[in-house]
Structure 1
Amino acid sequence: MQRPREGTQGTEYQKILLWRLDLRGRISALFGTVDLLLAPVHPFAPLTLATIRTLGEQPELIAKLQRHTCPFDMTGHPALTLPGGFSAGGLPIGFQLVAARLGEATLIRAGAAFQAVTSWHRRRPPA
């Protein structure tokens, strides 16, 4: 587990841990009614290489990049990212499948089934 930032009070850190447990419980409850969750990887089109080079100067962009993946990192729910198309600019777009905790087998079977009936994983962006 990551150490709290410098100056974080013990009570504040405890609140963060409790929030994380609550989030884990809410997402786990969701999997009582669904087998998999389909979600975007990013809330916008893929970044260009020029933008990626400047990520260290844009903490707000880093936060936006993690918006749809971080919740599952926090809760320990397994996720699989798959290619699913291209943006108008020709850059690849992915989506993620998320499974219940310890549901990696279901996740991998679903990813394999998707790739068996599509060819997105074989396509390359235009040069």
Structure 2
Amino acid sequence: MSTQITSPPDAAEAQRRGYTAALAVVEQIISTCPIVPPSVSVTCYDFAPEKPRVEVHFTSAAGMEALAPLLDATITTEPFGPDDPRPYMMMHGELAGVPVRASALLDAPAEAAVTP
């Protein structure tokens, strides 16, 4: 007779699984999106290993537009700040159960350029 003890995985193992899930999402984004993002980050905190997340940063509107269908997300655009008219694009979505946030800070529109 054998006894199988079931116990919850240790925190490090749970965090590894969270990272693995998020990295699989990054791989899918990079292999599917026609515009490769210049920056991708993955976060999986030890206090919430079951909630990894991915952040993707683009330098163009085209990158955001290419990723939106994959995430089934809507892009919002607003000025970066009260004194900074540069367009800031952002969207939130989910891929394979992992939250994904994407953003892009674009150059200032021509009409917002300051001339001496």
Same fold (TM over 0.5): no
Q: Which has the higher strand share?
A: 2
Question: Computing the radius of gyration over CA atoms, which structure comes out larger, 1 or 2?
Answer: 2
**Greater relative CO, 1 or 2 (CA 8 Å, sep 6+):** 1
TM-score by length of 1: 0.30
Q: Which has the higher helix share?
A: 1
TM-score by length of 2: 0.31
